[in-house]
Chains A and B, each alone.
Chain A
C-alpha cells in the first residue's frame, strides 16, 4: 500500500493552533482568541509559575549576580509580582547583560511569561533565542518554549486570517489543520479552494491528492481524483519526486507494473536518496517478473535501509527469480533476522506494556 511517510511533510502548524483553527475554522477566530486567552492563563502559566517559584526559592539565596544584579532582580521581581508592562523592557535588557546562568534562565522565563500575558508574543522571540541557545536541554525551558512557539503559531495564524483573509495561505493553513485532525474531505475542499485561487501553486495538487488518499477507505473515485491531482502536480513541478512516487504506487496498486516502473524510476532519478522509490521500483520490477532488473534498485535500497525486512524480502525474490539461489537464501536469512529483530522490539514493548498493565491493575495498597 501507499507509503505516505515518503511524501508527508512535517505538519506546518503546531498541534494546538491546528486544533483550534480547524475546530472553528478561520471564521471563528474571535472564539479562538478567547479560548487562547483562557488557555494561556490556565495550565501553562500555572505550571510555569510553579516552576519559576521553585526556581526562585531554590536560587534566591545563592544568586549573587556580578553584573546589573540590581536591575535584573528588580525586573524579575516586577514580573513575578504581576507588573509585566514595567518589567518587560528591563527583562529584555537584563537577559543580554546577565552572565549568571541561573538568573539568565529566570529572566528568560519571566520574559516569556510577560510577553505572552501582555499579548505581545513576538517580543518573546528574544527570550526564546537566548533560552534555547543557552539551555537547550533544560526541561523548564523546553516546556515553556513549546507553549511559546505554540502561542506564536496561533498568533501568526490569527494575523494571517485578519490581514489576508482571502489569501490562499489562509486556506492552506486551514487545510493542514484539517489534515492533522483526519478530516480529509474537508481538507481536500480547502486545497481545492487554493487551486481555484492559484492553480499553478507548486505542492498544492500533491497535497490535494494526499487528502483524497488519506481517507480510511478511499473509493475508486477518490483514487482517480488523487491520480489526476498528482499528475497535475508533475505538470507544474516536473521535479517532484514525491508525486512521481505516489503515481508509481497508484500504478502498482492497480496492477499496472509498467506504469509503476516508469514513475518509480523517475522518482529515484529525481532524488537519489529517496530509498522508498528504489524499493518501489524493485518491487514493481519483481511483479513484472523482471527479476534481474529488480536487483540493482533493491541492492541500492538495502544499502540505504539495511535493517528493512521488506528490502531483504524483495531482494530475495529478485535473486531467486534471477536464478541466484545462494544470494536468495542469504537475503531470506537476512529477512528472517531483521523480522525477528523487529519482533523482539515489539515483544519487548509488549512485555513492558504487560508490566505496566500489571502495575496499574494492582490495588493501590499493593503498589
Chain B
C-alpha cells in the first residue's frame, strides 16, 4: 500500500534544481502553482473540496436575532460503514424545525455513500435517515449485534434511534426502543457498562431549555453590541441529568439513570467518552460540563456509577472553578498503561489535559505539555487522539470555533471562526505543529464536530469536521502513508460486537504500544470503528495481543500479521480475515 507518487524529496529536488537554470524564466508563470501543489502534497493533511468529494450538503444553524442557545452549538458528524462494504460512509447532522426555528424549506441530515474512488453519493432519502427535528449529534453502534451499524441521532427536543435494516435502509425504532430522551440531548455513546455483551447507551443532556425558558442576554457594556441579543452563558439555565439506557437484548432499553447513579448528578453536558480509567475492566465515563464541574463516572462493577470528578482532579481546572467543557477524549498518551483524559473549553479557560496517576486521580498537565499556551485564545469542540503519521505515538487534533458570532466585537484576539490545531507526539510529548501543517490548518472555520475515519482505506486516518452554519470539511491524511501500519476491525462475540473497551497491544521490533478502543469521544460525533496501529518504518509486526472486554475478558495473541492492510479479528477465533 502507500501511494508514494513521486512526492516529497524528488519533487523538491526537482524544484531546487530549477534555480539558476535557463529554464527558470520559461517556468515563471507555472512555478507558483506547481510549488503550492508540492506544499499541499507535503502537508500532513489536505482539504478535499466538495467538487472532488461530491459532498455538497451544508449545515444550517438557523441563526436568529433572538440568539437561541441551540443555534450556536451544533452539529455533529460520523464515519460509519452502514452497508458493510469495507468503505467508510459519512453521516452529517442538521438542524430542523422546532419551537425556536422554522426553516423556510425543509432541512435534513445527510448520509453519503462512499463510492470507493474518493467521491460520495447522497443516499439519505433512500436510506430513510433524514432526521426530524433540531439535530445535534450522532452515535453509531450495532446495538442489536446484527453486524450492521445503527444510528442514534441526538436532538434538541427528542432524539431518534435508526435501526439498520442491513439492506441500505434504516427504520426509526425510537419509540419501541424507548430511547427518545426528551429534552436537549447532545453527545451520546454506545458502550457496555455491565459487561453483558450488549451495547448500552449513554446520552448527555444539556440545560433545561425550550422557547418559553429562553432568556434575552446581551452585552450592554459593549457599545458595538448595544441593543443586540447575545448568546446567554449557560449558567443562567438549570442543569439536567443525563440518561443511561440499558440494552435489554430484545430491541428495547430500560432507563437505568436513577438506579446507576447518573440521575443524581444534574449537569450541563456536551461531550462524553467511555473509557477505563482504573483498568478494572469496567467502562467509566468522562463527561464535559459547561459552567459546571466535569463528571467522571467511575463504574463500580457494573452496579453503580460513582461521580468522582472532584476527587479525581478532573472536575475543574487548577483554580477549582468550573470551565466551559465541550469535547472530550481519552487515550493512553504517554503509554504508561493508564488512560489519560482531555477536555476542550472556551477561550481564556485553557483546555484540560489530565494525566492518569494510576490511583483514580489525575494531574492537569495542560501547562507543561504546551496545551495551555496553545489553547489560551481558542474555543475547542471536537477533538481526538490518533496516530496521524503512523509512527506509533498518539497525536492530537482539535476543532475550534467560538460559539458567539459577535465575539470579535468583544475581544481583540478572539475570532468566531478559528483554525484547527494539530499536535504531533514525538514520543516525548506533544508539539503544536499546526502552523507547519498546511492550508487545512490556516483556514479559520466554525468547527464543532470532529470524526476520524479512513475513507480511502490507505491506512492514513482522515478527518471529518462538521461546522456550524457551514459546509463540512473533509481532510485527507497524506502523512500516514509514509509509514507502515495495520488496520484492525474487531468483532466481539461474547463481548459487545463493536469491541468497545478492547485493549490492543502490539510489538514491532523495538516498538511496543497499547491502545484501548474507547467509546465515543470528541463532540457530537462518531468514528470509524477500526483501529489503525502505526509501526513507523518497521516492516512487520511481531505480534498483536487482543484483550477483549467482559464478559469473556479473553486474551488472544496473533502472530504472522501482515502490514499495510486491514484485517478482521473475531473474538475467540485464532485466524484473522
Query: Do A216 and B321 contact each other (CB < 8 Å), given the known contacts A350-B236, A354-B218, A360-B226?
Result: no
Residue of B nearest to A216 (CB): B413
Q: Is the beta-carbon distance between B372 and A253 smaller than 8 angstroms?
A: yes
Q: Is the beta-carbon distance between A346 and B235 smaller than 8 angstroms?
A: yes
Residues facing B in A310-329 (CB within 8 A) are: 310-314, 316-317, 320, 328
Query: Do A283 and B216 contact each other (CB < 8 Å), given the known contacts A255-B367, A350-B233, A361-B229?
Result: no
A114 to chain B, nearest CB (A): 34
Complex Cα gap A247–B228 (Å): 43
Q: Mark B299-321, 1 if CB is under 8 A from A, else 0.
A: 00000000000110100101111
**B219, B230, B320, B373: the one within 8 Å of A312 (CB):** B320
Complex Cα gap A317–B312 (Å): 9
Number of residues from A at the complex interface, CB < 8 A: 42
Residues of A within 8 A of B374 (CB): 217
**Contact-residue size bin, chain B (C-beta under 8 Å from the other chain):** 35 or more
Complex Cα gap A354–B228 (Å): 11
Residues of B within 8 A of A182 (CB): 412
Complex Cα gap A218–B373 (Å): 7
Complex Cα gap A60–B226 (Å): 41
**B236, B311, B318, B322: the one within 8 Å of A320 (CB):** B311
Q: Is the beta-carbon distance between B235 and A310 smaller than 8 angstroms?
A: no
**A216, A254, A335, A354: the one within 8 Å of B320 (CB):** A335
**A254, A255, A283, A357: the one within 8 Å of B318 (CB):** A283
Q: Is the beta-carbon distance between A356 and B367 smaller than 8 angstroms?
A: no
Q: Is the beta-carbon distance between B320 and A360 smaller than 8 angstroms?
A: no
B84 to chain A, nearest CB (A): 46
A362 to chain B, nearest CB (A): 9
Query: Do A343 and B220 contact each other (CB < 8 Å), given the known contacts A253-B372, A320-B311?
Result: no
A1 within 8 A of B: yes
Complex Cα gap A335–B310 (Å): 10
**B227, B232, B233, B321: the one within 8 Å of A360 (CB):** B227
B377 within 8 A of A: yes
Q: Is the beta-carbon distance between A316 and B218 smaller than 8 angstroms?
A: no
Q: Is the beta-carbon distance between B368 and A360 smaller than 8 angstroms?
A: no
Query: Do A309 and B320 contact each other (CB < 8 Å), given the known contacts A216-B376, A347-B235, A361-B216?
Result: yes
Complex Cα gap A308–B318 (Å): 13
Residue of B nearest to A355 (CB): B216
B373 to chain A, nearest CB (A): 6
Complex Cα gap A316–B293 (Å): 15
Residues of B within 8 A of A255 (CB): 365, 367-368
Complex Cα gap A287–B409 (Å): 38
Q: Mark A324-349, 1 if CB is under 8 A from B, else 0.
A: 00001000100100010011001100
Chain A positions within 8 Å of B, measured between CB atoms, are: 1, 182, 216-220, 223, 252-255, 283, 287, 289, 308-314, 316-317, 320, 328, 332, 335, 339, 342-343, 346-347, 350-351, 353-354, 356-358, 360-361
In the assembled complex, 28 residue pairs joining A and B whose CB atoms fall closer than 8 Å, in A order, are A1-B350, A1-B367, A217-B373, A217-B376, A217-B377, A218-B373, A220-B370, A220-B373, A252-B367, A255-B365, A289-B357, A309-B320, A310-B319, A320-B311, A343-B291, A346-B235, A347-B235, A347-B236, A350-B233, A350-B235, A354-B217, A354-B232, A354-B236, A357-B219, A360-B220, A360-B226, A361-B216, A361-B229
Chain B positions within 8 Å of A, measured between CB atoms, are: 215-220, 226-230, 232-233, 235-236, 291, 310-311, 313, 316, 318-322, 350, 357, 363, 365, 367-368, 370, 372-374, 376-377, 412-413
